[in-house]
Every structure is written in C-alpha cells, then in structure tokens.
C-alpha cells in the first residue's frame, strides 16, 4: 500500500519537472503548489492502476502508458486538442515519465510494508 503514499507525494513534482524542462525549469517553485492541486487526484488514480497491475510483469510500462494516454486525452478534451506531434508527445511525457518512476519506486522503496 506504499504506492498510495508514493504516487501523491512524488507524481506532482516529477510531472512539474518534466513539464518545465523544455523551458529550463523557469518558475519551478512558483508552480509547485499548483502542481499538487492539479495532480493529486490523478496520482491517486494511477496508484490504483499500479496496484491493479501489481501482479503483471509489465506493471511499470502499463502504468506509464495508461498515465500518458490519460494525460493526452484530458488535455485534448479540455483544450480542443492539437494536431501537431510535439505538444501531444510532451503531454504524454508529463503523464508517463512520473508514473513510471513512481511505479518503479513503489516496488523498490522501503517506505512501508505491503
């Protein structure tokens, strides 16, 4: 059950780092509160997905793919979407990279007992 602590704690700052990386991490600390406000609920949902995939050998990749697809679908729905590849790829990375890291850490981290 440590994944329900790891995902809400680490997913928002990791997503923010991936989001601000192309701009050179400008205003990183200014966005930290907003990152937690936006990403805690998706992080908890992804922790549940990771838990559901915990017995599968492709758990980390599966969680990352689901997070990337969810991020792309949410942004396309809210903004009307873009047909260009770069924005879609960046949004997918903002969802997928932190989810993969949190999924991997939830299996390796000695924070709590399963």
pLDDT: which is higher, 84 or 73: 73
Q: Across the chain, what does the average pLDDT equal?
A: 87
Residue 111 has pLDDT above 70, yes or no: no
pLDDT at residue 97 tops 60: yes
How does pLDDT run across 25-57, given as a tens digit for each residue? 887 888 888 889 889 999 999 999 999 998 888
d(CA 37, CA 9): 12
What's the rounded Cα separation, in Å, for the pair 1 and 43? 14
Residue 110, pLDDT score: 58
Q: What is the pLDDT of residue 31?
A: 86
Residue 31 DSSP symbol: T
The closest of 99, 103, 71 to 87, measured between CA atoms, is 71
């Amino acid at each position: 059950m440590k994944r329900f602590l790891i995902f809400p704690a680490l997913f928002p700052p990791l997503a923010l780092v991936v989001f601000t990386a192309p701009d050179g991490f400008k205003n990183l600390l200014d966005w930290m509160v907003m990152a937690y406000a936006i990403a805690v609920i998706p992080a908890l949902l992804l922790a549940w997905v990771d838990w559901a995939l915990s017995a599968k050998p492709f758990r980390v990749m599966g969680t990352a793919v689901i997070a990337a697809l969810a991020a792309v679908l949410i942004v396309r729905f809210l903004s009307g979407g873009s047909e260009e590849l770069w924005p879609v790829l960046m949004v997918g990375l903002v969802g997928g990279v932190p989810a993969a890291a949190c999924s991997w850490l939830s299996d390796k981290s000695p924070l709590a007992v399963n």
